[in-house]
A and B are shown apart, each in its own frame.
Chain A
Amino acid sequence: MKATILFIAGATILAGCATQLSESERQMRAERMFKEGFSKGNQEMAARVVQQDETQALCSKYPRGVPEAIASKIEKSQQATIRYPASGNLMGDWREGEKIAQDGWGLRFTDTGQPNRTNGGNCYACHQLAPQELSYGTLGPSLYQFGKVRGYGLEIQKYAYGKVYNAEAYSACTGMPRFGHNGILTEQQIKDVVALLMDPASPVNQ
């Protein structure tokens, strides 16, 4: 009798201290709960967040750093998604790029009813760019003098275009959105952002 009670007490303590759920059970329950949490809102958006793509799923699985082999796999698969402009011209207008960098509008559930409005890139939310803009975030690195420091050549233009198009191709599980791959910005808008970074006349390079 005493032994049984002790055994039960011991088991309870163990259960209380140990991680309760197996990894697969935990994930299954979390996914179900997440889906149920968006049952009343915009269902088109809900479908998109419930269904993760492979990159999102892998990056979610390794929040404290993705193993090297998986990181390479992600970068390789994402590199293959990048579509460069058919014209070969990667540079748009830096003035338009600056507007896109300032603009955070788009793809939130309240961003509706303006069919002619394009999404913003909201670059300043996370990066320093033109020195005139003091209200910049620091989640990403400073991009001040991006072209001036790296050189204005075609290779760097191509890198900038690719990075904005799909940052996962360069740095697996980066916090930076995949603006081209996920249809946030258009080809022309990405070219304009590249010009903001790479045009010698852009305020970013002063």
Chain B
Amino acid sequence: MRTIRPPAALLHVAAAVAFLACTPLPGSAQDKTSEEIEKYRRVLAEGNPAELWEARGEALWSTKRGPHNVSLEKCDLGLGVGMVKGAYAQLPRYFADTDKVQDVESRLVSCMVTLQGFTEADAKMNPYSAPGRHSDMEALTSYIAAESKGMQLNVPIRHAKELEAFELGEQLFYRRAGPHDFACSTCHGDQGKRIRLQELPKLIEPKEAQQIFTTWPAYRVSQGSVRTMQHRLYDCYWQMRHPQLDYTSDTAISLMVFMAKFANGGEINAPALKR
């Protein structure tokens, strides 16, 4: 059991946020700003509130729940029944029992249905927390991701369905639509670009993809919660003026496989801390 000191962690966050909010931007501030944001990330990293999500997820994993009143400890995340360590570093991947490529969240849904007896609708009911309402999926994902910390991302793209997911993800990455004509590639196709002051990773560039893909889930300061990769994609499509992306949709998973191809080899450092 790791030690958690929530008050200290949260104080760090509060102090860093206050520091950032109160620091005036000097005249030639563009590069300085990135530096400052980097500094603020370092300060925050010393006490990431995501540790609270990890602890809650760890407890949830072994809690008997659902109509069958069993825990998730028999869930196979890809490395065998009950193997959590390292599993996140190899997701998404193909699972024979569902005959689908699944990410950590869709796999959790499968386990909640088959092991615990939840309906699929119940398992997917609360994927994203809101003020005053926890999400078990965010907690479980945080725990599972943390169990791969320091390992190399090694998402398999070998099985026919994994290869297909990659290809379809690639197709969608460049797909422009909606009132603004946006595709994923509009913002993530070039190096060194920004929206306002937010730097944009080029997701087909291994160095940049690695840094991004290996740091989700993350505690997002702007949202006051851990968010998962499913939410990250949902949020991208929101900003792209697309409708609500279905939770654990194949569209989301294919885009993850596409990104993972470039991110493979990066070191897992999740849950991380982000804006």
Residues of A within 8 A of B (CB): 15-16, 19-21, 26-27, 29-30, 33-34, 36-43, 45-46, 48-50, 52, 55-56, 59-60, 63, 107-110, 124-126, 134-139, 168, 175, 177-178, 182-184
Contact digits for B164-198, partner A, Cβ 8 Å, 1 yes 0 no: 10011001101111111111011101101111111
B241 within 8 Å of A (CB atoms): yes
- Do B244 and A38 touch (CB < 8 A)? yes
B14 within 8 Å of A (CB atoms): no
- Do B245 and A125 touch (CB < 8 A)? no
- Do A59 and B181 touch (CB < 8 A)? yes
- Do A38 and B246 touch (CB < 8 A)? yes
- Do B180 and A177 touch (CB < 8 A)? yes
- Do B195 and A137 touch (CB < 8 A)? yes
B114 within 8 Å of A (CB atoms): no
- Do A184 and B179 touch (CB < 8 A)? yes
Q: Which residues of A contact B33 (CB under 8 A)?
A: 134
B250 within 8 Å of A (CB atoms): yes
Other than A26-B168, A26-B171, A63-B185, give 11 A-B pairs with Cβ distance below 8 A: A19-B167, A33-B250, A41-B245, A43-B243, A49-B177, A52-B175, A52-B176, A56-B177, A60-B183, A139-B193, A184-B179
B179 is contacted by which of A19, A29, A107, A126 (Cβ under 8 Å)? A107
Q: How many A-B residue pairs have CB under 8 A?
A: 138
Cα(A41)–Cα(B249), bound, Å: 12
- Do B181 and A177 touch (CB < 8 A)? yes
Q: Which residues of A contact B174 (CB under 8 A)?
A: 60, 63
- Do B160 and A20 touch (CB < 8 A)? yes
B30 within 8 Å of A (CB atoms): yes
B25 within 8 Å of A (CB atoms): yes
Cα(A139)–Cα(B193), bound, Å: 6
In chain B, positions 203-249 with a C-beta closer than 8 Å to chain A are: 238-239, 241-246, 249
In chain B, positions 243-269 with a C-beta closer than 8 Å to chain A are: 243-246, 249-252, 254
A37 is contacted by which of B163, B181, B190, B252 (Cβ under 8 Å)? B252
Chain A interface main SS type: loop
Known: A30-B172, A33-B168. A40 touches B244 (CB 8 A): yes
7 contacts between A and B (CB under 8 A): A16-B158, A27-B171, A33-B172, A34-B175, A36-B246, A37-B246, A107-B180
- Do B171 and A30 touch (CB < 8 A)? yes
Q: Which residue of B is nearest A55, CB measured?
A: B181
In the A-B complex, list the 8 residue pairs whose CB atoms are closest, starting with the nearest. A41-B244, A37-B251, A41-B243, A63-B174, A30-B171, A45-B243, A37-B249, A177-B180
- Do A139 and B192 touch (CB < 8 A)? no
B16 to chain A, nearest CB (A): 19
B194 is contacted by which of A39, A46, A60, A139 (Cβ under 8 Å)? A139
- Do B194 and A177 touch (CB < 8 A)? no
- Do A39 and B172 touch (CB < 8 A)? no
- Do A42 and B243 touch (CB < 8 A)? yes
Q: Which residues of B contact A107 (CB under 8 A)?
A: 178-180, 241
A138 is contacted by which of B177, B181, B192 (Cβ under 8 Å)? B192
Cα(A125)–Cα(B186), bound, Å: 13
Q: Which residue of B is nearest A177, CB measured?
A: B180
- Do B167 and A136 touch (CB < 8 A)? no
Q: Which residues of B contact A41 (CB under 8 A)?
A: 243-246
Cα(A186)–Cα(B160), bound, Å: 48
Cα(A19)–Cα(B163), bound, Å: 8
B28 to chain A, nearest CB (A): 9
A129 to chain B, nearest CB (A): 12
A71 to chain B, nearest CB (A): 15
Q: Which residues of A contact B245 (CB under 8 A)?
A: 37-38, 41
B29 within 8 Å of A (CB atoms): yes
- Do A109 and B180 touch (CB < 8 A)? no
Q: Which residues of A contact B252 (CB under 8 A)?
A: 37
Q: Which residue of A is nearest B29, CB measured?
A: A134
- Do B239 and A56 touch (CB < 8 A)? no
- Do A45 and B242 touch (CB < 8 A)? yes
Q: Which residues of B contact A60 (CB under 8 A)?
A: 174-176, 183
Most buried by A among B177, B197, B254: B177
Q: Which residues of A contact B200 (CB under 8 A)?
A: 139
- Do B244 and A36 touch (CB < 8 A)? no
Cα(A168)–Cα(B176), bound, Å: 13
Q: Which residues of B contact A27 (CB under 8 A)?
A: 171
- Do A137 and B194 touch (CB < 8 A)? yes
Known: A49-B243, A108-B241, A139-B193. A34 touches B172 (CB 8 A): yes
